[in-house]
């Protein structure tokens, strides 16, 4: 048994090493592939998140994903817009100012808006909008989901209470995958 | 031993055991088979359910391609002993994470078609992982058959135990219950054997119930009753017959004794009477002679002639009495039986008759020598003498012939039959019996030389005292043949 564990550990280390090596070799493509993964994650988040029904006008009304600030995804996010989640089409919106942030269901705040974070988050506070970003202090500022890089791999951390306060329920399955869940050890 | 010769008791038990055993075996096998089949279905459902749970718990890990989370989810399966391998495949078929109970267990490189099925290495399920109506991957689970095998073993053991126990119970029960059928049959068979061995028709088979066997016993007993009745009727008839025969025999013996007695009395009477008659008769004869001699000169011719007639008649009466005496003596004295040569006797008789035979010019023939027989020498001589004298006396032929002999082949076939044949005058058939009567004469007193008429009666008496028989063949003018035997005919 000990031997088995040891070998599993060795395997895992080996895989990590391989992952690092490939990411190092990929070099220039890292940023692009990183945001491709993040785009997929963003898309997948919608499957593990429940919005209060009132945010949709009807059964078929689209699920709106808004990107605030400079769009780092390129085509990666757009490629998911043909998909449907729970019978709803995905709709990608680019927003610069937050006139009506409650019109979005998912709000990705780009790094370009890093300085305005408190204002942005304040604007959507209380509205059922899943806020996502990839800035380290995002959760502390009141954000809900934040991407982190761990060993070159895209991971995320979640503040489920922040989500609940605005009426959004995040699936425990998603929480189980999070690197860090705020409020939990 | 062939099955049909096995005793009925064992046959009945065999039937019970084979029936019970066969039924139990079939029921047991069916039970095991259907239970195993049901358990296989349950296993399928269970594994599918488990795959469904794993799929539910793997949606996030698959969505975010989190190998660690996927491996952890799969590792939870280690609590389920029969799961030997598990895998999570992404939508594109790549293996995201796997689980092996033992090292060396291989996972399929790519998922196969969805479904659950028994394969060579156990029960395998490929189950879709869906999220929000979209397929995002596949769960693979493989369970070994240890539970199924264990279950079948336990059931086989249970069925085997039940089989043995109920076999034992069936043996005990059938060994008791078979008596219901076999006992009456055995009883019947024993009774039948006893009846035929001892010829005792008063035996009865015991009846134990009103079923077909009971009816058989009744019928058997009825048959025995009928046989018994007939047997006793037969026995009675036989006894009655014996009783009657005995009665008749006694009656016959009594009558015989009476007859014998009266015969003897008659003989005694004849002897005494004739003996006592002789004395006064001699007196009459003597005195008639005295009269003739002493008073001849005083009598005329007529007187003398009457006296002579008186003398002649008295002489004649004396001869008659002598014959009667001789005859009655024959019935009184015992025969002196001896082995005698008949040739010798006949020769003696012919010697004593030699003068008569010469005078009458008689030709005597004896074609074959005569045998030796057991008889009374003197009496047999009398037979031949009387018959030869008669043969000569009643003969009017110029050449008289007498033949003495024995009928052909009569020696070998029982009693010998002797005969005396003449070429005399013959006897009409109606007189054939009368010739043997005493003092019976067929002709005038002085014809054919006279005589008392007792000769043949005496001959008949002698023959009968020898337990023989006498008879004759004759016709007028055709001569006469007298036949006789000297011993009881067989």
pLDDT the model gives residue B136 = 92
Residue A4: its chain B contacts at CB < 8 A? Answer: 103
Kindly tell me if the per-residue pLDDT of A10 is higher than 60.
no
A48–B contact, CB cutoff 8 A: yes
Q: How far is A146 from chain B (nearest CA, A)?
A: 15
* Contact assignment for A4 to B61 by CB distance below 8 Å: no
SS (H, E, C) chain B: CCHHHCCHHHHHHHHHHHHHHHHHHHHHHHHHHHHHHHHHHHHHHHHHHHHHHHHHHHHHHHHCCCHHHHHHHHHHHHHCCCEEEEEEEECCCCEEEEEECCCCCCCCCCCCCCEEEEECCEEEEEEEEEECCEEEEEEEEEECCHHHHHHHHHHHHHHHHHHHHHHHHHHHHHHHHHHHHHHHHHHHHHHHHHHHHHCCCCCCCCCCCCCHHHHHHHHHHHHHHHHHHHHHHHHHHHHHHHHHHHHHHHHHHHHHHHHHHHHHHHHHHHHHHHHHHHHHHHHHHHHHHHHHHHCHHHCCHHHHHHHHHHHHHHHHHHHHHHHHHHHHHHHHCCCCEEEEEHHHHHHHHHHHCHHHHHHHCEEEECCCCCCEEEEEHHHHHHHHHHHHHHHHHCCCCCCEEEEEEECCCCCCCCCCCEEEEECCCCCCHHHCCHHHCCCCCCCCCCHHHCCCCCHHHHHHHHHHHCCCCEEEEECCCCCEEEEECCCCCC
- Span B422-436, pLDDT tens digits: 988 888 888 888 888
Least confident of A147-151, B2-6, B346-350, B467-471: B2-6
Which residue in A has a C-alpha nearest to residue B66's C-alpha?
A177
Tell me whether residues B133 and A86 touch, CB distance under 8 A: yes
* Beta carbons of B382 and B454 less than 8 angstroms apart: no
Chain B hits for A176, CB-CB cut-off 8 Å, are: 60, 69
Chain B residues whose CB is inside 8 A of the A173 CB are 57, 59-60
A18 band by pLDDT with thresholds 50, 70 and 90:
very low
When CB atoms are compared, the residue of B61, B64, B103 closest to A4 is: B103
CB-based contact B64 A171, cutoff 8 Å: no
State phi, psi for B384 to the nearest 5 degrees. -60, -45
Q: Would you say how long chain A is, in residues?
A: 185
| Cβ separation A85–B132 shorter than 8 A | yes
Give the A window 65-104 contacts with B, CB below 8 Å. Answer: 83-87
Contacts with A, B 92-151, CB within 8 Å: 103, 131-134
Strands, E assignment, A83-170: 84-85, 88-95, 106-109, 130-133, 145-150, 153-158, 169-170
pLDDT band at B420 (very low <50, low <70, confident <90, very high): very high
Q: What is the pLDDT of residue B357?
A: 87
Look at residue A185 and tell me whether its pLDDT is greater than 80: no
Q: Mean pLDDT over residues B285-305, rounded?
A: 87
| pLDDT class of A102 with cuts at 50, 70, 90 | low
CA proximity to B69, closest of B58, B53, B83, B78: B58
Structure tokens at A22: 């490939």
**What is the arithmetic mean of pLDDT over B24-39?**
91
CB contact under 8 A, A177 and B133: no
Write out chain B residues lying below 8 Å of A90, CB-based.
Answer: none
pLDDT band at A86 (very low <50, low <70, confident <90, very high): confident
A69 to chain B nearest CA, in Å?
25
B66 interaction partners in chain A (CB closer than 8 Å): 177
The two tokens of residue A164 are 């609940």
Q: What is the mean pLDDT of residues B463-473?
A: 89
Q: What's chain A's average pLDDT?
A: 81
A24-28, B72-76, B355-359, B361-365: least confidently modelled range: A24-28
For B104-129, how does the pLDDT look when each residue is reduced to its tens digit (9 = 90+)?
888 999 999 999 999 888 899 999 99
C-alpha B289: how far from chain center: 86
Decide if A47 and B64 are in contact by the 8 Å CB cutoff.
Answer: no
Bridge partners (DSSP) listed for residue B340: B373
Cα–Cα distance between A91 and A102 in angstroms, integer?
Answer: 14
Look at residue B337 in the predicted model and tell me its pLDDT. 87
In B, which residues are within 8 Å of A85 by CB distance? 132, 134
pLDDT digits (tens, 9 = 90+) for B33-44: 999 999 999 999
pLDDT digits (tens, 9 = 90+) for B200-244: 888 888 888 888 888 888 999 999 999 999 989 999 999 999 999
H-helix or E-strand spanning residue A37: helix A29-45
Separation CA B187–CA B396 (nearest Å):
93
Closest-approach residue (CA) in chain A for B133? A86
Longest dimension (CA), chain B: 209
Do the Cβ atoms of A47 and B63 come within 8 Å?
yes
Supply the pLDDT for residue A15. Answer: 45
CA dihedral B102, B108, B109, B114 (to 10 degrees): -140
CB within 8 A of A62, min separation 6: which ones?
Answer: A88, A89, A90, A91
Residue of A15, A86, A176 lying closest to B132 (CB–CB)? A86
Q: Tell me the percentage of chain B whose pLDDT exceeds 90.
A: 31
Q: Give the pLDDT score at A98.
A: 67
Q: What's the pLDDT score for residue B435? A: 84
pLDDT confidence of residue B147: 86
The dihedral through the CA atoms of B210, B214, B215, B219 has a sign that is negative
Closest in A84, A85, A173 to B59, CB measured: A173
Span B178-186, average pLDDT: 85
A158: which chain B residues are within 8 Å (Cβ-Cβ)?
none
In 3D space, the residue among B429, B13, B408, B311 whose CA is nearest the CA of residue B181 turns out to be: B13
- The least confident of A113-122, B181-190, B444-453 is B444-453
| Shortest CA distance from A173: residue in chain B | B60
Q: Does residue A96 or residue A168 have the better pLDDT?
A: A168
Q: Quick one: pLDDT at residue B430? A: 85
Asked if the Cβ–Cβ distance from B61 to A177 is below 8 Å, we say yes
The answer, yes or no, to whether residue A26 has pLDDT greater than 60, is no
* Cβ <8 Å between B63 and A171: no
Closest to A40 measured CA to CA, from B266, B90, B350, B231? B90
How high is the pLDDT of residue B235? 92
Flag whether pLDDT at B193 surpasses 80: yes
**Backbone angles phi and psi of B211, in degrees to 5:** -80, -170
Chain B positions touching A171 (Cβ under 8 A) are 60
Residue of chain A with shortest Cα separation from B99: A8
Decide if A56 touches B, using CB distance below 8 A: no
Read off φ and ψ for residue A169, nearest 5 degrees: -110, 125
Mean pLDDT of B333-358: 88
Does A85 sit within 8 Å of B63, measured CB to CB? no
Backbone angles phi, psi at B376, to 5 degrees: -90, 115
**From the CA of B79, how many Å to the nearest CA of chain A?**
16
Question: Can you tell me the mean pLDDT for B318-343?
Answer: 83
Across the interface, of A84, A86, A176, the residue whose CB is closest to B60 is: A176
Which residues in chain B have their CB less than 8 angstroms from residue A84's CB?
134
Are B376 and B415 in contact by the 8 Å Cβ rule? The answer is no
Interface A–B counts its CB contacts (< 8 A) at 31
Instruction: Answer yes or no: are the C-beta atoms of B166 and B13 closer than 8 Å.
Output: no
pLDDT range class, residue B295, cuts 50, 70, 90: confident
pTM greater than 0.80 (yes/no) = no
Interface of A with B in 114-173 (CB under 8 A): 171, 173
Give the contacts of B20 (CB within 8 A, at least 6 positions apart).
Answer: B166, B167, B170, B174
Contact present, B421 and B403 (Cβ < 8 Å): yes
Supply the mean pLDDT for chain B. Answer: 87
CA angle centred on B28, ends B22 and B32, rounded to 5°:
150
pLDDT tops 60 at residue A29: no
Distance CA A42, CA A36 (A): 10
B159-174 pLDDT tens trace = 899 889 988 988 898 8
Residue B410 banded pLDDT, cuts 50, 70, 90 = low
CB–CB contact B61 A48 (8 Å): no
Q: How close is the nearest chain B Cα to the Cα of A97, in Å? A: 31
CB pair distance less than 8 Å for B60 and A173: yes
Region B439-443: mean pLDDT is 74
Interatomic CA distance for residues A16 and A31, integer angstroms:
19
pLDDT at A6 over 60: no
CA dist A77 and B49 (Å) reads 36
């Amino acid at each position: 048994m000990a031997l088995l564990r040891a070998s599993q550990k060795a395997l895992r280390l080996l895989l990590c090493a391989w992952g690092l090596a490939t990411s190092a070799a990929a070099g220039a493509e890292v940023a692009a592939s990183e945001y491709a993964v993040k785009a997929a994650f963003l898309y997948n988040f919608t499957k593990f998140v429940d919005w209060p029904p009132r945010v949709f006008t009807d059964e078929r009304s689209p699920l709106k994903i808004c990107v605030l600030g400079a769009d780092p995804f390129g085509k990666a996010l757009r490629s998911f817009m043909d998909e449907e989640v729970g019978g709803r089409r995905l709709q990608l919106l680019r927003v610069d100012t937050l006139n009506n942030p409650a019109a979005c269901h998912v709000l990705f705040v780009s790094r370009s808006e890093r300085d305005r974070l408190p204002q942005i988050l304040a604007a959507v506070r209380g509205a059922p909008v899943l806020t996502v970003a990839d800035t380290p202090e995002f959760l502390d500022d009141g954000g809900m989901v934040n991407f982190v890089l761990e060993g070159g791999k895209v991971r995320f951390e979640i503040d489920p209470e922040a989500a609940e306060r605005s009426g959004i329920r995040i699936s425990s399955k998603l929480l189980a995958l999070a690197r860090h869940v705020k409020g939990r050890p | 031993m062939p099955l049909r010769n096995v005793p009925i008791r064992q046959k009945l038990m065999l039937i019970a055991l084979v029936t019970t055993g066969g039924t139990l075996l079939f029921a047991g096998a069916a039970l095991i088979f259907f239970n195993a089949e049901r358990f296989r279905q349950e296993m399928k459902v269970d594994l599918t359910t488990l795959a469904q749970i794993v799929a539910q718990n793997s949606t996030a890990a698959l969505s975010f391609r989190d190998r660690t989370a996927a491996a952890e989810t799969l590792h939870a399966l280690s609590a389920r002993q029969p799961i030997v391998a598990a895998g999570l495949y992404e939508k594109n078929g790549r293996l995201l994470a796997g689980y092996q109970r033992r090292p060396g267990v291989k996972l399929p490189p790519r998922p196969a078609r969805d479904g659950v099925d028994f394969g060579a290495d156990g029960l395998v399920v490929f189950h879709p992982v869906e999220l929000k109506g979209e397929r995002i991957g596949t769960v693979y689970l493989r369970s070994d058959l240890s539970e199924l095998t264990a279950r079948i073993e336990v059931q086989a053991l249970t069925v085997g135990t039940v089989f043995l126990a109920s076999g034992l119970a069936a043996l005990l029960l059938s060994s008791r219950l078979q008596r219901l059928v076999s006992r009456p049959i055995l009883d019947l068979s024993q009774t039948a054997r006893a009846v035929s061995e001892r010829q005792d028709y008063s035996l009865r088979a015991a009846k134990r119930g009103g079923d077909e066997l009971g009816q058989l016993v009744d019928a058997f007993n009825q048959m025995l009753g009928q046989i018994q009745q007939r047997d006793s009727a037969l026995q009675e008839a036989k006894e009655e017959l014996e009783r009657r025969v005995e009665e008749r025999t006694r009656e016959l013996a009594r009558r015989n004794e009476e007859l014998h007695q009266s015969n003897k009395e008659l003989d005694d009477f004849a002897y005494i009477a004739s003996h006592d008659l002789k004395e006064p008769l001699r007196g009459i004869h003597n005195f008639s002679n005295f009269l003739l001699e002493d008073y001849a000169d005083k009598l005329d011719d007529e007187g003398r002639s009457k006296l002579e007639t008186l003398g002649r008649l008295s002489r004649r009466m004396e001869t008659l009495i002598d014959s009667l005496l001789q005859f009655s003596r024959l019935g009184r004295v015992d025969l002196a039986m001896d082995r005698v040569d008949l040739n010798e006797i006949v020769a003696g008789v012919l010697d004593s008759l030699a003068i008569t035979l010469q005078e009458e010019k008689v030709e005597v023939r004896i074609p074959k020598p005569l045998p030796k027989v057991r008889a009374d020498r003197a009496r047999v001589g009398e037979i031949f003498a009387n018959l030869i004298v008669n043969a000569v006396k009643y003969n009017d032929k110029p050449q008289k012939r007498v033949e003495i002999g024995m009928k052909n082949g009569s020696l070998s076939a029982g009693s010998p039959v002797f005969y005396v044949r003449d070429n005399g005058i013959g006897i009409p058939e109606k007189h054939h019996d009368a010739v043997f009567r005493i003092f019976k004469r067929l002709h005038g007193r002085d014809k054919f030389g006279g005589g008392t008429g007792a000769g043949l009666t005496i001959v008949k008496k002698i023959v009968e005292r020898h337990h023989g028989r006498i008879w004759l063949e004759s016709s007028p003018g055709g001569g006469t043949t007298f036949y006789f035997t000297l011993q009881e005919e067989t």
